Every structure is written in C-alpha cells, then in structure tokens.
Amino acid sequence: MATTQIRSLVDKLNRTCRKALEAAAGNAVNRGNHAIEIEHWLRALVADDGAVLPRALAEAGVAVPRALTALDGALDRLRSGNDRAPALAPGLIAMIRQAWTVASIESGADRIASGHLLVAALRDELASQQLAQVIPVLGRLSADQVLERLPELADGSDEAGEAGSGPAAAEAPLSSLQSGKALATYAIDLTEAARAGRLDPVLGRDDEIAQVIDILSRRRQNNPILTGEAGVGKTAVVEGLALRVAAGEVPAALARARLLTLDLGLLQAGAGVKGEFENRLKSVIDEVKASADPVILFIDEAHTLIGAGGAAGQGDAANLLKPALARGELRTIAATTWAEYKRHVERDPALARRFQVVKVEEPSEARAVTMLRGLVEKLEAHHGVHIHDAAVEEAVRLSARYLPERQLPDKAVSVLDTAAARVAMGRAVVPPALQKLRAEHAALERARDMRLRDAALGGAALSVDTMIVDLANLETQIAEMAKRHTEETRLVGELAEARAVAEPEARAAAQSAVLEQLKVVQGKDPLLPVDVDARAVAAVISDWTGIPLGRMADDELETVRRLEDRLRTRIIGQDHALEAVARAVRTRRAGLDDPRRPAGVFLFAGTSGVGKTETAVALAELLHGDARALTVINLSEFKEEHKVSMLLGAPPGYVGYGEGGVLTEAVRRRPHGVVLLDEIEKAHPGVQDVFYRIFDEGRVRDGEGREIDFRNVTLILTTNAGSETITKLMDDPDTAPGPEGLAEALEPVLRQSFKPAFLGRLKLVPFMPLDDERLLAIVNLQLDRAVRRITETYDLPVTVAPEVAPAVLARARARDAGARAVEAVISGELMPGLAGLILDRLAEEGAPPRAVEIATGPDGSLTPRLS
C-alpha cells in the first residue's frame, strides 16, 4: 500500500489509538522486531487504563495483568534482530482499514477508537485466530455484541471525547496528544520553576545574561548559543535569565516571555514510525508561533540537533528549525561545548549564522567563590547543616588545584555538596572508625573460633592466646569509642538547640559553652562532624585524589618531617640525594612551592645499582602508601623518532589515535604519584622536547587534545650518562668532591647527551658509587628482608650466621652491578636452594621445618640448613 494511503488511514485514529501506536512502534524498535504487529498495538492499548479495550476485556472476564503477560509472551516469540525502523505489518494495516469501515459506517464516528479495532480484529478470521492463541477468551467473543456495547464501555473513558471533527482534526499530527499540549509534553517551563523557587540563585554571570538579553531583543536572528566547557555554567546562565524574567528585571519585550527547556531526547523517544519525530517537532514550532505570550526555547546539547530524527533522504531537526530561526519567529537559546560547536554547528554555515555565540568562560577563583556563596543557603536547607565561609573558599581553591580535569564552578559545587552530605550522614550513622574496629573484632573472633573448632575436631592445635589478648584490647577500644560517640552526639544535639535560641546574646553564650565541651571531648580526631568546615572539604578532595590535604594526620606529618630518615632505612650511602628530595617534598606539602610546576623534577645520575630506582619506589610507598603509585617508563624503548609520539598519543589520522599515550594515560589515570623515566639518555633527542611544557607549566596536551595535569606528580628521570666521570672522581676518597662539586663536574658531560634548556629545568642529583662498607649495609638490609619473607610464610625462626653477609658481598662484587648484584645473589642463589629443601621436607614429612639456619660452606657458598 502506498505511503500516502497508510498515512491517511493512521490519521483516522483517535488520540488514544495514535498514542498506543507510537508506544507500539517504540516497543518494536526496542525489541528489534522487523514490523509493528497487531500484538504490539494491542499490548499498548491494554496497558492504557483510559482506553476502551481494557474495559472490554474485563467485562469478558480477562484480567488485564494476565492479558499483558500473554501479549508479552507473544512478542517474545516474534523474529528480532532488526536495526532499522520497523514498518507497519500488512495484517495491522488491514485491521485499521476494517476498523475505519466499522467506525465510519456502522458507528457513525469520524475517528477510530480502540473498540472499533477490537471489532475489526474479531471479524477478521486470521486476526481472530491470532488473538485467540494469545488470549483464548477473545475467540469466544461476538463482534456484533462488542459493537453494540461500545457506547456504554466508552462512557467515562478517555476515548469518550476523542471523536473529533472537521478538516483540522484530520490534519492533526500523529504525535500531538491534544491541541496545545506539545510544549507541555516535550518542554519544561523554567520561568514557572523560577517563580516557584525551584531554581538555585545565579551569581557572577551578569555579563553573559546581559548578552543573551541583547540578542533575544533583536527583531531577527535573535538566537544566542552559549559555548563553553562542560561545568562552566551554561545552563546556569539560562536559569539566571529565567529568574530575571520571573522577577520582572528584563526589558518590556521579554517581560511576559516563557522560557522553556526543550527535551530532544523526549521528542525522539518512541518516534519509531517514519516521520513521527518531524511531526512532533513541527507541533512544538507551531505552538511556539501561536502562543499568546512570547516563548523562548532552550535547547541544551544543541549539537544533537544535527542528525536528530533524520534518516536517509530526510531532514534533521536543525533543518526543520532553520527557516523559523532565520525569520525570528522562533527564539531559541542553544548551549554546547566548544568542541561540539566546531564539530557540528560550525560545519553548517546556514545553521551557524542563525546563532550568535555567547562565550561562557570558566570563572576565576574569586568569582567562583561568589557563585558558591549564592548556593550555600539552598545546600544548608537540603542537608540540614551549617556551612562555614572558609569551606566555600577551600572548595574553590582545592578543586581548582587538584581537580584540573573539571571546570569551575561545577567541581567546587560537587565538592561542597559532597562535604555537606558527609557531615549530614555522619550524624546519622556509626562513625567509620568505630565500624572499622567492630569489623576487626568480628574478623578476629571468627579466626579464633575456627582455630578452636579445628582443635576440638582433632586438627592442628594452633595457639589462640595472642588472639584473646587482641580481642580484649579491641573490646576496650570499642567501648571507649562508643561512649565518646554517644557523648559527641548529645553535645551536637545541644549545639543545634543553642543555635535555635532567638535572643542573640543568649544564643552566642549557649553556643560557645557547647563548643568548648565539644572541643574537649573530640580532641584532634572528632568522631562526629559538627559543621561543614575547611577540614571537611579537604577530606573530600583527599578521598577523591589520594593526596593528604588540610590538617595532616600525625603519622603523615611525621613522615614528611622526617622523610630523609625514613628513606635512609632503605637507601644506603646517598644521604645528599635523599636530603634534596626531602626538601622538595616538604616545600610542596607546606604549600610554598610554585603551584604551576610538577611536585618535583629530578635527574638522578649515577652508575647502575646505586639506589636511583629504589629511591623512586620508596618515595611512592612513603608518600602515597602504595608502590602502585609509581609509574615506570623505560625510555630506552623510545630510541626511534617515530616512537616519540607514543608518549603523548598518536595525533588524528595516525595509527593508534584514540588509544592514548604511554605517559599521558598513566598520569591521567593516576594524577598524584611518582613517575620514573628510566634511562633518559638512551631515548631519541625529540623526547626531551616533550617535557619542556610539562616542566614549566605542569601540563601537556595529549594526542586527542586533552590537557593532562602533571602538577601533582613527582617526575624522576634516571641516567647512566657520566658514570665513568663519577667513578673516576670518587676513586680517591681524599680528592673526591662533595655532592655540589660532583654535580658541577657532571654538567659538561651531561650536555653531550642533553640539551642545555632541558638540563636547566631539572634538579640534578648525583648518586655516589657504593664502597664496601655501604654495600655491606645493603647486604644486611636485603638479608633482613629475606628473613622476614621466610618468617611470614612459614612462621618459624631464622638464624643467619655472621659470615653470610661478607660472603654475599664478595659474590656481589664479582658481578660488579652494585646493589642489584646483592639482590641477584640472594634471590638467585640463596632462596632457590632454601626453597628446594623446604619442599623436600614438606614432601617427606608433610610439615614445614621447625627452624632455618643460613650459613656458608667451605667454598664460601651460601648453605641453608633445616631443623
């Protein structure tokens, strides 16, 4: 059947049937069916409480839920896998044609109702058999009796007044639910929301709002488009305009305007029938033109206009809007990001010239603070907490520094909102510290019970004495903390009552007294948050980024203060290097360094095996609590020029585009850690050019155009260049230079491998060669680690003979690889021999040894013994 004939038939449906057909089309699309079948349509009609069909089924004794279940089962059996818009099934078209005959000739109606469809289906032999298979009762219904009962069934239903008449009704678009309702269906009235107080105050965007008002006041081409990054406040500008319209603070031409947000997603939802989306959009445009009061449409994510609703050979939403936009008949405010504007809107000059760009830039920190202050009252009312002004300033400052991937004011609002939610939730739930203690107690209790059960059943009798002591200690801590939590809860309640006192002097006195008591009870680590202060905001940023902020915990503060002492326990003989690193870390943690640069940029120069890599590992573990905070990139893999782009990612059009760069992806995923760039001298010289902007500005643009922030990363570059110079200068202890002198002597040598501009941006830290005394200390350190591993694995005592350390040193010296040789001797000779002995004992006796002794053989070899 021709498309015009099908359209003519569909136009004969009343609103309820048309709405059900739209839902049927959406259901068919979602299921991937190839056609819209009778079952799709009946399922939508049965689910509509206002239709006649559910009433007819109920009168026939068919429960609506059971009918829906049966229809769903029938739909599940239909063929699926279609990815195109489904067409109307021939059987469905035939049923509509028969229903029009029933409605027009037998009922005298000018619209097809759902009852007429049922009569038509019952009269069609094939359709009635199809329905009887799904709902058996329908096979026993008489079409004539149903037709006779239709007026009574329709009485009081939504279909009672949907007959319609005249040409205008016949030409009504498929999607207009009823005249004048398209805007109510597909748009949200922002001016009404502003008058009802549902919009947040908008501060700091007066210039942008003034620009929008200027453009809207034009006679033609009066359509502003707001462009800016996600989170800068484009939608807030529109809401600010709505607030001004509601308050009467706009020119007379806009005083009676209604500002409506058009939901393109809602317009497209369920528009599975060809041309349905276009009809819906035309209905919206027609209602805007016909409105007595001026209507301004706001379209967020306006780039989705390109291609919206369009299929092959059809126009998209943008093309439908262009004529009305050009004539000034449709005033529209659009919003999109710069990237999407360039990609979609700017490429269509005819669309772009119908809009006037209004740039919405990220606000300064001072302006963002003003914006947030306007939201404080709403946040306090929502969460029921008090927000300090210091918390507002801290939310802006910390989010600007530590959340570079997002924009102000959005990220600051998120931080402040989260902090307020935590404070409100903290008053209602058990404190995390108390929860942790209870969880530890429960876990230890289970372990004790399992050991006791094993012993009772004849298993190994493992000691539980230590567990019993630990359980008693935990119970004491839990009792003390629970008591303190109860006291803090009482005082926080009293503080709320004190703040509710009307008389200012009495309120101040009562509040001061309660706060003093709280200060004594809470000490340095409160269990119950009182207000949203700067510390609560810093805690949110710390959790999101892993960086300790605000008032550092005592252990964190102690780690930073004595960082070189902690590092000396792991790195031997490099005190000057550790001191240089510790100074930089302390300056950063005190907030006195240049915030634009990375947390630290060091070039560790020295021979292999002197502790360069171990220093980076130790820094990651001490400062970030996890060795996984260290990212290692071996730059010897970037010797060829074409591999340099792998650090930042391939540019558009090249193989690998979109996969990200080795360096940038590592920092983007973990923007707060330590990055070790190993063997920089072996990389192509072009690699050095990559780092200039990183060292100077703390950021770089990757292959996909994203800004990657390095400001919270410690960059450590290592090189073996100049190793021979270091060895020669340090050979004679009497003439050996100090660290500063060694660094000066190294610079001319390093300039042979590195550009002066590159070296000038780094802190050169030379690592001294290790003499026997320092290497012996490393041997003892590595032996201690090996003993700990054995003890933790088998829970047995380990004895190391005094002659073992010198023997390891002698074997390591023979390899001439510094501290790496020590580790190689222990892990490659000692541990494999011990592993073989333990496995033999387990195989022969079924139990591990009672003790291990490590000694040396007559030839100086490492000889473990078991007992």
Strands 674-678 and 630-634, bridge-based pairing: parallel
User: How many angstroms separate the CA atoms of 708 and 700, rounded?
Assistant: 5
User: How many angstroms separate the CA atoms of 578 and 588, rounded?
Assistant: 16
Structure tokens at 738: 């100090």
pLDDT at 123 over 70: yes
pLDDT at 712 over 80: yes
Interior angle at CA 248, CA 247 and CA 253, nearest 5? 145
> Which class for 90: exposed (0-12), middle (13-18), buried (19 or more C-beta within 10 A)?
exposed
* pLDDT tens digits along 132-174: 888 887 777 888 888 888 888 888 777 876 654 333 333 334 3
* pLDDT tens digits along 646-691: 999 888 778 878 888 999 999 988 888 899 999 999 999 999 999 9
Provide DSSP, 300-348. SSGGGGTTTT--TTS--HHHHHHHHHHHTSSEEEEEE-HHHIIIIITT-
How many other CB atoms are found less than 10 A from the CB of residue 785?
12
For residue 855, give the 3-state DSSP assignment.
strand
pLDDT at 12 over 70: yes
Does domain 556-766 sit in CATH 3.20.20.70?
A: no
* pLDDT tens digits along 476-526: 999 999 999 999 888 888 888 888 888 888 888 888 888 888 888 887 778
Strands 630-634 and 600-605, bridge-based pairing: unpaired
Provide DSSP, 120-188. HHHHSHHHHHHHHHHSGGGGG--HHHHHHHHHHHHTTSGGGG----HHHHHT--TT-SSTT-HHHHHEE
> Which class for 45: exposed (0-12), middle (13-18), buried (19 or more C-beta within 10 A)?
buried
Q: Give the residue carrying structure tokens 């070899």.
A: 861
Q: What's the average model confidence in pLDDT over 58-71?
A: 85
Residues 6+ apart with CB under 8 A from 40: 24, 25, 27, 28, 33, 75
Q: Worst-scoring range by mean pLDDT, 175-184, 427-436, 812-821?
A: 175-184
User: How many angstroms separate the CA atoms of 392 and 400, rounded?
Assistant: 12
- CATH class given for the domain over 772-866: mainly alpha
User: How many angstroms separate the CA atoms of 273 and 94, rounded?
Assistant: 17
Positions of E strands within 520-612: 600-605
Q: Closest by alpha carbon to 421, among 518, 537, 551?
A: 537
Q: Residue 548: which pLDDT band, with cuts at 50, 70 and 90? A: low
pLDDT at 378 over 50: yes
The secondary structure of residue 252, as a DSSP letter, is G
Please provide the CATH number assigned to the domain covering 182-359: 3.40.50.300
Q: What is the pLDDT of residue 273?
A: 63
pLDDT at 315 over 70: no
Report the phi/psi class of residue 548: left, alpha or beta, with left for phi > 0 and alpha for psi in -120 to 50. beta
Q: What's the average model confidence in pLDDT over 361-372?
A: 95
Q: What residue type is 422 in one-letter code?
A: R
Residues 6+ apart with CB under 8 A from 412: 368, 372, 395, 396, 399, 400
pLDDT at 593 over 80: yes
In Å, how far are 43, 108, 145, 154 from 55, measured between CA atoms?
A: 14, 21, 14, 8
pLDDT at 466 over 90: no
Q: What is the pTM of this model?
A: 0.68
Provide, rounded to the nearest whole percent, the portion of the chain with pLDDT above 70: 94
CB–CB of 510/501 below 8 Å? yes
Q: Residue 410: which pLDDT band, with cuts at 50, 70 and 90? A: very high
pLDDT at 642 over 80: yes
CB–CB of 111/174 below 8 Å? no
Q: Residue 461: which pLDDT band, with cuts at 50, 70 and 90? A: low
Q: Closest by alpha carbon to 717, among 805, 604, 793, 803?
A: 604
pLDDT at 211 over 60: yes
* pLDDT tens digits along 249-303: 999 989 999 999 998 877 877 666 666 777 888 888 888 988 888 999 999 988 8
In Å, how far are 66, 78, 79, 274 from 37, measured between CA atoms?
A: 20, 9, 11, 16
Q: What is the pLDDT of residue 2?
A: 55
Please provide the CATH number assigned to the domain covering 365-426: 1.10.8.60
User: How many angstroms separate the CA atoms of 124 and 120, rounded?
Assistant: 6
User: How many angstroms separate the CA atoms of 707 and 709, rounded?
Assistant: 6
Q: What is the pLDDT of residue 664?
A: 93
Q: Residue 234: which pLDDT band, with cuts at 50, 70 and 90? A: very high
Residues 6+ apart with CB under 8 A from 25: 36, 40, 86, 270, 271, 272, 273, 276
Multiple choice CATH, 3-170, 1.10.1780.10, 3.40.50.300, 3.40.630.20, 1.10.1280.10? 1.10.1780.10
pLDDT at 313 over 60: no
25-35 burial by CB neighbour count: b if 16+ within 10 A, else e?
bbbbbebebeb
Q: Residue 310: which pLDDT band, with cuts at 50, 70 and 90? A: very low
Q: Closest by alpha carbon to 242, among 282, 276, 208, 209?
A: 209
In Å, how far are 201, 207, 232, 649 from 204, measured between CA atoms?
A: 10, 8, 12, 38
pLDDT at 371 over 90: yes
Q: Residue 243: which pLDDT band, with cuts at 50, 70 and 90? A: very high
Q: What is the pLDDT of residue 150?
A: 86
For residue 274, give the 3-state DSSP assignment.
coil
pLDDT at 177 over 90: no
Q: What is the pLDDT of residue 496?
A: 84
Structure tokens at 302: 């306006």
The DSSP bridge partners found for residue 718 are 604
In Å, how far are 108, 393, 554, 630, 726 from 561, measured between CA atoms?
A: 93, 27, 10, 21, 31
Strands 295-299 and 714-719, bridge-based pairing: unpaired
The H or E element containing residue 114 is helix 114-123
Q: What's the average model confidence in pLDDT over 363-381?
A: 94
pLDDT at 426 over 90: no
Q: Worst-scoring range by mean pLDDT, 337-341, 517-521, 786-790, 851-855?
A: 517-521
CB–CB of 699/693 below 8 Å? yes
Q: What is the pLDDT of residue 165?
A: 33
